[in-house]
Amino acid sequence: MESALVWLIYQRAPGVGRRRMAELMRTYPNPEEAWRLGAAELAAVRGFRPETVQALLAVRKSAEARREAERELERARRAGLRVLCYGTQGYPRRLAEIPLPPPVLYQYGPWEPGDGDGRPVVAVVGTRRPTAYGLAVAEQLGRELAQLGAVVVSGMARGIDTAAHRGALSAGGTTVAVLGGGADVCYPQESAALYRKMRESGAIFSEQPPGTAPRPENFPERNRIISGLSHGVILVEAGERSGTLITAAHATEQDRDLFVVPGPITSPLSRGLYRFVRDGAGLAVNAAQVLEDMGFLPAAEGPLHFTPRGLTELEQRVLGWMGSAPWWPGDLAETSGLSVPEVQACLTMLEIRSAVRRLPDGQYIRIG
Amino acid sequence: MFVRVWSFALQGIEALPVAVEVDVSPGIPSFDIVGLPDASVREARERVRAAIRNGGWPFPLQRITVNLAPAHTRKEGAGFDLAIALGVLAAAGAFDSAALEEIAVAGELALDGGLRPVRGALAMALAAEGGRRLVLPAESAREAAACSAGTNVLAAPHLADLIAHLRGERRLEAPDPVRPAEAASAADVDLALVRGQLVARRALEVAAAGGHNVLMVGPPGAGKSLLARCLPTIMPPLDDAESLEVSRIYSVAGELAGSGLIRRRPFRAPHHSTSRAALLGGGNPLKPGEITLAHRGVLFLDEMPEFRRDVLEALRQPLEDGVVRLARAHSHLTFPARPTLVAAANPCPCGYLGDPLHPCTCTASAVHLYRSRLSGPLRDRFDLQLYLQPVTYSEYQASTAGESSAAVAERVLQARERQRRRLAPFGLSSNAEMGPALIRRFCRIPPGGESLMREAIDRFGLTLRGHDRVLRVARTLADLDGSDAILVRHLAEALQYRGVGSEPVKRWA
């Protein structure tokens, strides 16, 4: 009897949802053992009523449930998916500890989530409709986290999620996505290249059967896996009703470290984050500080920004004017008293040297 | 009895002499027009008959045949009315037909014999220069009199006035002088009105100096229209030849409306629902499109991605060649079309992508689709591409007024002068017109610039065309700087205008 089959058949019993599955798995974590339980042993599980026990016993004998479960596993095998089963070797330890762990998790990619390899795992999540600032910060955090050896988790949604994944990839790091549809279904479509890269170098996870179309009602549940896989969660921009807040709630419930990227108080996309700050979430200023606050790195020394070598005096002055906020070249000229041609020429040279970058709306932001 | 009267047919912005031959001979009364007249010309029969009767002359009850020669070109419009009426009257003996050899005429007849204006009076005056005297309806005559050939023009308010003139009873007058107020009216916009937007001001100056097309991407309210309107105010004034050329176009389009020569650079801003025919020219009767009306001036396409794709694609050929080629059923026509193109676009369909306060409500695929409407080949026609920053009211209040158009125009003029000296032997007037050969010749990359350009190709994904665009702009920057050689700083600044493309959307999704 295949271990995964046990959970897949049990969860097909009427009246058995995520909560009862979680109670069952927590009480009898070994699937082999769970398959052989008698009525009395099942009745001892917290919250199980007599009809729950009857349903579980019945589904065990149901040929249809078995056929469906086998078909799901067969499909996973054909798609080349790895099957992670609760209570067996390879299932992520941190994920097993959350209140409602997925009984079975499908995975693409080489990353070994099992007992962890001692690397910090950090989720970076946020709105699907961010500002240019949010995008830049998410990408920067993803890159910095990867540079410092952390694994970056997110949901491959448009906006912040995608930027975080890309940032980590740009530094050659490990980044993994948890999808709301089947792990073999790339959504959104335009992220196909990103999806492929993560499949090759990181991981793609989903608790949904292979081939499941992405449905909005599955996304909130998916978020508990994002925080469940991680040591800590960084929130970058969320409106008052953003799905990101669900991830944050899961993180709190799962006792994960929560960090918030400060944004302008005037931005509606900062509003969803206030209450987490009030409740004691940490401030995410850069990756080193986040990891340090989570207890992973020794305190960082030195300046927050690095200055590339070989800049002219004028270029250094322009760079000096730019803090961490994005700048319009025109404002930079007005503030610094330099002429527009001077500022423009400097920005090109700084861009070539990777000291600044142009954002998609034409503003410039200092990198580093 | 056979009579010949000289008139004109419009072909593009040229007026071709047309001989209107009228034969009145005995037979069953009829009135036919041949020589490829279209419906509007054939309707002349009714207007001519009524105008002659109402003028008090008898209309010959004979067989009347009108031929418009040369017979192979198509004739359009009501401008032949006057010539046909004169021919019929002369053939009927109302005056001596020898007098007709001295003049050429054009005009639309009212049923009472009054004369209505025609399109293209200026072109006709130029075509008649040094030959026959040109008789036109009063308003058209005033238009024609604006050019040097205008001394040859007579104004006829009514058919009866012209008949009296031909009979030698009463001389026709030269047209009224042009209302000077029209010609000299000042521009209603000025760069001094633009607050902030330092980068855009600089880009406009460069555009005016080098004749470069400009693409501006920025949120609603950033002042895209005002900036575009300011561009003609800093371009060098039209010289006499250009002024005549532009005026002739407006005359043919029927938009000169009796005013004098156009001295200000035209500014045309067609709406994004504009049809291909309205933008490029076409229709029946054939009229020049917006791109021709903007010749030597500025064609402003606001919300460029909202224009129909086929309309935008159709712009590519004229922008390349400087002329619009229109294929008609019987002929090919060209209109001049050398405007500076200024296009504006929002960063995304809702306009708020990147705005610090408004979240953008567009999906990534919607933004991608929006930007992809500016196809690569068309985008390559814009040497200067820039982002505009949003202007908040407090910033607007705080920032000081910038330089006036006149001050900027002074620098532009000097830069143009440098270009003229360099490019005149090649028949060009601005850096924007330089092709690959001239770019290699006049845009030498300075020492230290090679590595910069190589890095730019690697990092910014600069294409070969993009590379040439940067060099053209750098040449203009050097001209503005009074420098014979392009310096590294000119290349570096030019690279800032390299492109506002689809690549950020792909990168950021």
For chain A, the domains span 3-78, 121-297, 310-366
Burial class (CB in 10 A: 0-12, 13-18, 19+), A265: exposed
CB atoms within 10 A of CB B182: 16
Question: Given a cut of 60, is residue B64 above it in pLDDT?
Answer: yes
Maximum pairwise Cα distance, chain B: 89
Average pLDDT of span A241-266: 90
Query: What does the alpha-carbon distance between residue B9 and residue B24 come to, in Å, rounded to a whole number?
Result: 23
Residue ranges of chain B assigned to CATH 3.40.50.300: 191-508
Could you report the per-residue pLDDT of B444-455, keeping only the tens digit for each?
999 889 989 988
For residues B382-389, give the mean pLDDT. Answer: 91
Both tokens of residue A79?
Answer: 């798609």
Residues contacting residue B426 through CB under 8 Å, at least 6 positions apart: B438
pLDDT value at position A115?
Answer: 62
Domain with CATH 3.30.230.10 in chain B: 2-167
SS3 of residue A13 by DSSP: coil
The answer to whether the Cβ–Cβ distance between B359 and A132 falls below 8 Å is: no
Express each pLDDT in B201-221 by its tens digit.
999 999 999 999 999 998 888
By Cβ distance, the residue of A158, A194, A328 closest to B389 is A328
Please state which CATH number belongs to domain B191-508.
Answer: 3.40.50.300
Name the token pair of A261. Answer: 């990227």
Indicate yes or no: CB of B496 within 8 angstroms of CB of A329: yes
**Confidence at residue B229, expressed as pLDDT on a 0 to 100 scale:** 93
At residue A325, the pLDDT reads 74
Read off the pLDDT of each residue in B379-393 and give the average, rounded to a whole number.
84
Domain covering A121-297 in this structure, CATH number:
3.40.50.450
State the Cα–Cα distance between residues A166 and A361, nearest whole angstrom: 19
B364 vs A158, A269, A363: nearest CB: A158
State residue A35's pLDDT score: 92
DSSP assignments along B8-69, one per residue? EEEETTEEEEEEEEEEEESSS-EEEEESSB-HHHHTHHHHHHHHHHHTTPPPP-SEEEEEEE
User: What band does B394 get if pLDDT is binned at 50, 70 and 90?
Assistant: low
Does pLDDT of B76 surpass 90? no
User: Cβ contact (<8 Å) for B496 and A129?
Assistant: no
Nearest-CB residue to B197 (from A266, A330, A352):
A330
Nearest-Cα distance to chain B for A9, in Å, is 39
Q: Which of B499, B224, B199 is nearest to A330 (CA)?
A: B199
Whether B473 and B339 have beta carbons less than 8 Å apart is answered as no
List of chain B residues whose C-beta atoms are within 8 Å of the C-beta of residue A268: 357, 359
The mean per-residue pLDDT over the stretch B257-268 comes to: 82
DSSP assignment of A342-356, as one string?
HHHHHHHHHHHTTSE
- What pLDDT is attached to residue A297? 59
Chain B CB within 8 Å of residue A262 CB: no
Asked whether B390 and B355 are in contact (CB, 8 A), the reply is yes
| Range of weakest confidence among A73-87, B39-53, B166-180 | B166-180
Whether the predicted pLDDT of A305 surpasses 50 = no
Fold of the domain spanning B2-167: Ribosomal Protein S5; domain 2 (3.30.230)
Closest-approach residue (CA) in chain A for B402: A334
Which positions in chain A touch B505 (Cβ < 8 Å)?
360
- Tell me the range of A87-96, A156-165, A259-268, B327-336 where mean pLDDT is highest: A156-165
Q: Which residues make beta-bridge pairs with B215? A: B343, B385
Q: How far apart are CA A154 and CA A2, in angstroms?
A: 30
- Is the pLDDT score of B23 beyond 90? yes
Lowest-confidence segment of A33-42, A339-348, B369-378, B404-413 by average pLDDT = B369-378
pLDDT at B235 over 50: yes
Confidence of residue A344 (pLDDT cuts 50, 70, 90): very high
Say whether A361 and B347 touch across the interface (CB within 8 A): yes
Q: Pick from B224, B462, B496 the residue to mutate for testing the A interface (most A CBs within 10 Å).
A: B496
> Which residue does chain A place closest to B359, by CA atoms?
A131
A344 close to B (CB below 8 A):
yes
> Which one of A133, A189, A329 has the shortest CB-CB distance to B199?
A329
ipTM, two decimals, is 0.80
Compute the distance between CA of residue B360 and CA of residue B352 in angstroms, rounded to an integer.
5
Q: Which CATH architecture describes the domain A310-366?
A: Orthogonal Bundle (1.10)
pTM recorded for the entire structure: 0.66
| Backbone angle region of B35, left / alpha / beta, with phi > 0 → left and psi within -120 to 50 → alpha | left
